[in-house]
Amino acid sequence: MDASGVFAKHFATCKFEDLPKEVVEATKIQILDYFGVAMCGSTKVGANEVRALTLEMGGAEQATVFGPGVKVPVTNAAQCNATSAHTLDFDDVHEQAVMHPGVVSIPTSLAVGEFVGKLSGKDFITAVALGGDMICRMGLATRPGENIHKYGWHFTTLNGYMTAAAIASRIMGMPEDKIVSAIGIAYHQSSGNGQAVKDGVMTKRLGPGFAVRGGIYAARLADMGVTGAINTFEGVSGYYKVYHGNCYSRDILVGDLGKRWESTNISVKPYSCCRGVHPAIDCAIRLYNNHNVKPEDIEKVIIAVGEGPTYLLCEPIEAKKNPRNLVDSQFSIPWGVSTALAYGKVSLNNFTEEAIHDQNILNVSNKIEMELDKSLNSTGLEPARVTVITKDGRTEVEYTETATGSPDCPLSFDQCAAKFYDLRECAEKPLSKENADKIVELVRNLENLEDVSEIIKLLVWA
């Protein structure tokens, strides 16, 4: 049986009671984090235009666009809500899979749940956990042992189509054969590349929205009887043959399905930039706080990283040290490190169109030298080493193997709630304090909620 059939059976039969307690708790943190980044990101460039076009087109009132609270067709609502959550690059990430699972699984579940009606908290948690597990397994199974950045795919988008189709199919109560078709129809649409990051343009933040729209559309077509490929993953023209030269691991893809859950390996970001920047930021914050390194004392900064971060986050070096735009700053190790060394912390306000002209950060970034250290190569989040040489001759070094917010150093629910409230404070159009408080408590006790529409009604601007 093709892996799509294995996933289809799992999606059709898995119950909330089958989820380990740690998966339930990790999923609730992931969901609360999504609400914070989505609402704060809902007025940013990209999200604004997608929402405006959606409202202009109108259509059947099936699911809610967060922020204005307007109902539109289910596919379009999910697209808006996914795009909003990806604009800040502050959404959750699976480091080893190089994947943002929540921005696909959560808006898909909410939109389709609202469309179908009466999606319980338990079923919401289950759908998100299943979707997160599938999309991360797809990433982990791809070219195992290699750093996959160099192949140029944006895997959240590429794998998001098929994952969203499976999630939507489950919530719609479809049988296994129709879930297989939905995955196959979604595969026929699957795309997504990393060139937008290299060019410093806005397309990257739109990708997950394209994926969830296509995935839900695929599920609805399959539900109406349209057939899709049966051997989507492992066929002679299947996903792994066509997209990845048949270089994949079936065991990683579907082995121990229902026993090994990747949901517990998802990281919540403390900084609003690419996760690959975070280890170096952690190093720089420690240099500032623990070694008394102040920006005016710095003669030179040497940042050592492996091949993956070098390709994605350090080239072209001049654009990374002197960002041309917001996207350049979000995908720049020199910018993240310079921010931390300039201020001793990194906040959402350091990644804006205004912030890229901050002379305090630029003064540090232009003292940076990058060093490629192949001993730091890994297949997931790669380590970083930051060395500061001061004007008085001191040499201070910090090394980070992992990063704050990772499974080895996780954020608790209360820490995630603090991030949620910080995002509310930064939002151009914030939630009311009353609604924010209600959302936190409803998510904290999500398994007891009878209908997730209670939360959706609160996701409107004050």
Q: Which of 74-78, 129-133, 322-326 has the lowest mean pLDDT?
A: 322-326
Closest by alpha carbon to 356, among 330, 375, 386? 330
Q: How far is CA 175 from CA 113, 118, 168, 274, in A?
A: 17, 19, 12, 38
Instruction: pLDDT band for 16, please (50, 70, 90 cuts).
Output: very high
What mean pLDDT comes out for the span 28-34?
98
- Distance, in Å, from the CA atom of 222 to the CA atom of 348, rounded to the nearest integer, reads 41
Mean pLDDT of 132-142: 97
What one-character-per-residue DSSP string does 65-132 give? ETBTTEEE-HHHHHHHHHHHHHTTS-S-BBTTTTB--HHHHHHHHHHHHHHH----HHHHHHHHHHHH
Please check whether residue 281 is in contact with residue 271, taking contact to mean a CB–CB distance below 8 angstroms.
Answer: yes
184 pLDDT more than 90: yes
User: What is the C-alpha to C-alpha distance for residues 351 and 417, in angstroms, rounded to an integer?
Assistant: 21
| φ and ψ at residue 59, rounded to 5 degrees | 120, -170
Burial category of 178 from C-beta neighbours within 10 Å (exposed 0-12, middle 13-18, buried 19 and up): buried
Would the pLDDT of 34 be above 80? yes
Q: How far apart are CA 437 and CA 439, in angstroms?
A: 5
pLDDT at residue 188 tops 90: yes
At residue 197 the predicted structure's pLDDT band, cuts being 50, 70 and 90, is: confident
Residues 93 and 104 sit within 8 Å (Cβ to Cβ): no
Residue 164 predicted with pLDDT over 90? yes
User: How do residues 239-290 score in pLDDT, each as one tens digit?
Assistant: 999 999 999 999 999 999 999 999 899 999 999 899 899 999 999 999 999 9
Domain annotation for the chain: domains and CATH numbers? 3-269+410-456 (1.10.4100.10), 275-400 (3.30.1330.120)
What is the rounded average pLDDT of the residues 116-132?
98
Give the 3-state DSSP-derived string for 294-352, with helices as H, strands as E and coil as C.
CHHHEEEEEEEECHHHHHHHCCCHHHHHCCCCHHHHHCCHHHHHHHHHHHCCCCHHHCC
Token digits for 439? 């959302």
* Mean pLDDT across 390-406: 93
Averaged pLDDT of the chain: 95
Local structure of 452: helix, strand or coil:
coil
Query: How many angstroms separate the first and last alpha carbons of the chain?
Result: 51
Q: How confident is the model at residue 198 (pLDDT cuts 50, 70, 90)?
A: confident
Q: Phi and psi (nearest 5°) for 19?
A: -85, 130
pLDDT, one tens digit per residue, over 344-386 is 999 888 998 999 999 999 999 999 999 999 999 987 789 999 9
Interatomic CA distance for residues 299 and 311, integer angstroms: 26
What is the mean pLDDT of the segment spanning 184-210? 93
Provide the percentage of residues in the chain whose pLDDT is more than 70.
Answer: 100
What pTM did the predictor assign? Answer: 0.88
Residue 267 DSSP symbol: B
